[in-house]
Amino acid sequence: MKVRDVMTSSVDWVGPKASVVEVAQLMKKEDVGSIPICDDNKVVGIITDRDIVLNVIAQGQDCKNTLAQDIMSRKVVSVSSDQDVHEAADLMSRYQVRRLPVVDQGRLAGILAIGDMAVERIHVNEAGDALSDISQGAHQNWN
């Protein structure tokens, strides 16, 4: 099964100059935990709700004047829509991420969340294994 078969293709994104408040409002509106940061639909970063908490709120930064480019993760792990979902699960596990932007020909085509794979019965175990690996990595970071 390919990534295109389970990914979410309708994905909102913001530009690097968007304020963290705009990012958080979009997360709330779309009920998501991450937002791709794009420059003309080309992924240049990603922001998670965790990034906002740790890099803005916990540091006492001004949410209105902090820009997406100031806190985004620039090393974005992505997949293409024609990659196998097994490869995507391996990437999630290896890089300890729960969401992967789907990039085709240099442009954002969608997003693949670990939950997208879990809804496909054939990949439930693989998604569960990836989530377990991600959670163990997060737990190790706490110690």
| Contact of 104 with 2, CB cutoff 8 Å | no
Secondary structure (3-state) at 121: helix
In this predicted model, what pLDDT tens digit does every residue of 39-95 receive, in sequence order? 988 999 999 999 999 999 999 999 899 999 999 999 999 999 999 998 998 999 899
pLDDT at 134: 45
Q: To the nearest whole number, what is the mean pLDDT of the chain?
A: 86
pLDDT of 11 over the 80 cut: yes
Q: What is the pTM of this model?
A: 0.80
Distance CA 18, CA 67 (A): 6
pLDDT at 143: 40
In this predicted model, what pLDDT tens digit does every residue of 94-122 receive, in sequence order? 998 889 999 999 999 999 998 887 765 54
What is the sign of the dihedral through the CA atoms of 127, 129, 135 and 137? negative
Give the CATH number of domain 3-142: 3.10.580.10
pLDDT at 40: 86
